Every structure is written in C-alpha cells, then in structure tokens.
C-alpha cells in the first residue's frame, strides 16, 4: 500500500535543503500550495484507479510556533511570528516548511514477514541533518500511531537519538526486495557515511544524511535477521553531485532494482549479496542498471528519473511512475523508450505533473511511503486514511476551502496563515479520523 503525503497549506520554496539542487535553485520563488496539494491528490487517485491500494498521510501544523518558542521567541502566536520574521527570517521559514509532504522520509517500515515478532514495525526518522525536518518526528509518530492503531499487528518506535551519529532519513534510504510482498524479504539499507568507523569514505561537498549506525539501529529495533538485511554505501561522488538520498539514484520493488551505474560503492559485491540473500528466500534478484553513458548523474538529478515509483500490476508486469521532468530531458526520455521496448522487467512508463513538489526537490517516490500489509493487517489500518472516490472528492473540496493559490516568504509572517493552517488541520483530523494528533487547540 502506498501512503502519499498530503501537501500542507504552507508549501513554499524556502531553499532550506543544502545538497538538494532543486530546493536550492528555486529558493524564494512564489509557490502555489493549492496546486501542489491537488497535483499530489491527482497522483493518489490515479494509482487507486489503476487498482493499487492507496492511503493518505496528513500534513503537520505550520508555522511551528512551539519550535520558535523553544528558540527564545515569546509572546502571543502573532508576536512570536512577527519577532521571528524581523530578527531571524530563516528560522521562521524553517518552521513554516511543508516538508512533511515527502513521506518517504517519515519513517522506515519493516513488514511482518521480516520481523522477529511477526508485526509491522515503524521507526520515525529523526531527520537530524536539517533543522526544518528535525522538528517533524514527534507529530509523525502520533500520526502513524493513529493510522496503524492496533498493537496486535503494528509496533511503533520513537526516532533514534537526535545527533549526527544517528542521522536517519527513513525510507528514502531503505528498499525491500521479495518474491511476494507477503514472503520474507531482504531489506536494503543504504548509508552515506559511518559515524564511528573512519575506514568508510565520505562526501566532500554535501553532507551524507544517513549513517550506517542509524541503519543498523533500525534493523535491530525491527527484529530483522542478518540473513534478511544488506547494507550498502552510497557513492560519495554522487552525493556531491546532488544525490542527497538513495531514492534519487535507485528504486526497488519486488525482485527488481532500477539504479544508476554509479549509485553505490562496491557495486558488484552489493548486487551479489542481494542476489544471494534473496535467492535463499525464494526470490530471483534482478538489477536494471542504467549506464552513465546513456544517463549521467546530472541528468538523473535534474529529471528525478530514479525518484520514481516502481509498481507491480496485478498481472505481474511492472510500471514506472515518473515526473514530467523525465519527458523534458531528451537523454532520459530516449533511455526510457528503449527500456520499455527492450524486454526488461519494466514494461511501461507513466508521466505525472508534480511540478510544485519537484521544484522543492521531491518527486513521485519522495511523496509516498510503501507499507507491505497482509490482509488482516490491511483490515486493521484506520479506514479514514484509505483513499476512495468519496475521500478524493472530500479532500479536493477541503483544499479549495483552506489553501492559498500563492505564497511568498513575506506571507509566512502573516498570523492569519497560522489560523488558516490550524483550521484546516482541525477539520482534516475529522475527515481522516485521526483523533488528537495535533498539539494545538482552536480557540
């Protein structure tokens, strides 16, 4: 099941993510929160119409006035926002980010077939590398607990310690390979650096956000066996070219990994270990490797070719969901045409317009969290977050009612924006049946 992040009312281009080329290059442009939310909803509806199980993950309260108070700004909510805008606008921008829309960073999920206690495990990501994202995990944990609220089937873990040594970016650096979604699989953790072992190289220009130690800790928390885990280091050279998460250079599904030639260090050993461990679990690993001669890393970053959704249809064929930017890149589009006619595991490509998200550095894969569920577990999911025609219509009406169609940096200091966001979220908790997941109370 794919759970897509619903874009929040404060979606703006703050340029907050150093190392994310799109985020930085579009900084300070005007955004359209209403269009962003509707583009995301359209993708959710399209996947539902194709027969895929689809869910919704709620946005967070922004601006985060509580975070600003913890940084020394005092007074009423309006005064806090005004002082922050006057004295430290970058902090107000960070506390106004709608970055929780990218639910691939919300947590890491291990299905029950892989875990020692036979439950689905969730660990919220601490997102420690960026302040604007590091404030997300308390609300993320509450929202996940409200969505998967059945201790018989689901186990929830708090975020790892909020220090650089345990930097954890969630499912953006985690992929699972399996013969069937209900079968025991091999969980693939990709890290950018080691915090405690200097033998591992590190990028020189941009930060490596995921540590080996964080990945290992999540695997322990989830009760994963050594036979069902592979750790791989991301190529530091591609991090320095703007590949801030593994899901910008590789995507996996079922028995298939679609990846760039330069994605990993020690690629041959990584692929061999994946093949061996998946074979021991009844699967046949397949690598679809994109040569650098056909698609450069720069092309991959600009088009977000690998920040795509790789989905298995009911007939077993695979579909790749890519952003419009892939069609606009001649080399990438030419490669995709060859791919779908070459007899590879990927038989079809579909293009979606996600420009509002893409300009902030998040493509189709960033917007979704994949959760493999058995039938009893699916039945235990909060039904309020499961996409349907009725929910799609309701959420579009909700967006039309509460969202602005233009937002610039100076708007973030408008106290009315906070009121609009809280009013919208108060109504959303009732629509999605989430209960009291937000700390604010409407007056």
Task: Output the domain CATH number for residue 349.
Answer: 3.75.10.20
86 assigned to some structural domain: no
370 vs 403: CA distance, rounded Å: 27
71 assigned to some structural domain: no
**pTM score > 0.85 for this model?**
yes
Q: Total domain count for the chain? A: 1
How many CA within 13 A on the CB side of residue 392? Answer: 18
Tell me the angle at which helices 33-49 and 389-402 cross, rounded to the nearest 10 degrees: 180
pLDDT at 20: 52
Query: Which residue positions in the chain have pLDDT lower than 70?
Result: 14-28, 443
* Annotation says 178 is catalytic: no
pLDDT at 231: 98
pLDDT at 22: 47
182 assigned to some structural domain: yes
CA 311, chain centre distance (Å): 16
Q: Tell me phi and psi for residue 20, to 5 degrees.
A: -100, 105
* Annotation says 169 is catalytic: yes
44 assigned to some structural domain: yes
Given 35, 61, 136, 169, which residue is catalytic?
169
72 assigned to some structural domain: no
| Residues 315-363 pLDDT 10s | 899 999 999 999 999 999 999 999 999 989 999 999 999 998 888 778 9
Pairing of strands 346-352, 318-323: parallel
Given 121, 366, 402, 409, which residue is catalytic?
366
The boundaries of the domain holding residue 206 are: 2-62+97-431
**Greatest alpha-carbon span in the chain:** 64
Given 153, 156, 222, 245, which residue is catalytic?
245
């Amino acid at each position: 099941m794919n759970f897509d992040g619903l874009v929040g009312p404060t979606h703006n281009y703050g340029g907050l993510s150093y190392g994310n080329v799109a985020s930085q290059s579009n900084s300070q442009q005007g955004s359209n929160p209403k269009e962003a939310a509707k583009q995301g909803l359209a993708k959710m509806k399209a996947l539902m119409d194709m027969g895929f199980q689809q869910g919704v993950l709620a946005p967070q309260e922004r601006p985060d006035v509580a975070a600003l108070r913890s940084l020394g700004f005092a007074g009423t909510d309006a005064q806090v926002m005004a002082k922050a805008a006057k004295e430290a606008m970058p902090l107000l921008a960070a506390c106004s980010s709608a970055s929780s829309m990218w639910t691939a960073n919300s947590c890491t999920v291990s299905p029950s077939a892989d875990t020692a206690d036979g439950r689905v495990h969730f660990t919220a990501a601490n997102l420690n590398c960026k302040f604007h994202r590091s404030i997300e995990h308390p609300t993320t944990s509450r929202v996940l607990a409200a969505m998967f609220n059945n201790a018989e089937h689901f186990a929830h873990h708090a975020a790892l310690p909020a220090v650089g040594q345990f930097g954890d970016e969630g499912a953006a650096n985690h992929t699972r390979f399996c013969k069937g979604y209900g079968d025991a699989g091999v969980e693939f953790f990709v890290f950018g650096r080691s915090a405690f072992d200097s033998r591992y190289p590190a990028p020189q220009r941009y930060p490596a956000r995921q540590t080996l130690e964080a990945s290992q800790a999540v695997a322990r928390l989830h009760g994963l066996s050594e036979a069902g885990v592979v750790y791989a280091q991301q190529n530091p050279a591609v991090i320095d070219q703007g590949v801030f998460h593994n899901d910008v250079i590789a995507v996996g599904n079922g028995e298939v990994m679609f990846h760039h030639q330069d994605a990993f260090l020690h690629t041959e050993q990584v692929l061999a270990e994946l093949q061996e461990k998946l074979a021991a679990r009844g699967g046949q690993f397949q690598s679809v490797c994109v040569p650098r001669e056909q698609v450069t890393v720069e092309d991959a970053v600009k088009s977000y070719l690998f920040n795509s959704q790789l989905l298995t249809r009911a007939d077993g064929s695979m579909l790749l969901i890519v952003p419009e930017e892939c069609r606009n890149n001649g080399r990438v589009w030419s490669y995709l045409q060859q791919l779908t006619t070459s007899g590879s595991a990927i038989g079809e490509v579909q293009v979606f317009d996600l420009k509002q998200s893409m300009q902030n550095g998040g493509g189709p894969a960033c917007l979704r969290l994949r959760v493999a569920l058995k039938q009893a577990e699916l039945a235990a999911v909060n039904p309020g977050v499961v996409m349907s025609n009725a929910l799609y219509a309701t959420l579009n009406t909700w967006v039309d009612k509460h969202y602005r169609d233009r937002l610039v940096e100076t708007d973030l200091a408008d106290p009315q924006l906070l009121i609009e966001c809280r009013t919208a979220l108060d109504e959303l908790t009732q629509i999605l049946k989430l209960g009291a997941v937000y700390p604010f109370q409407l007056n």
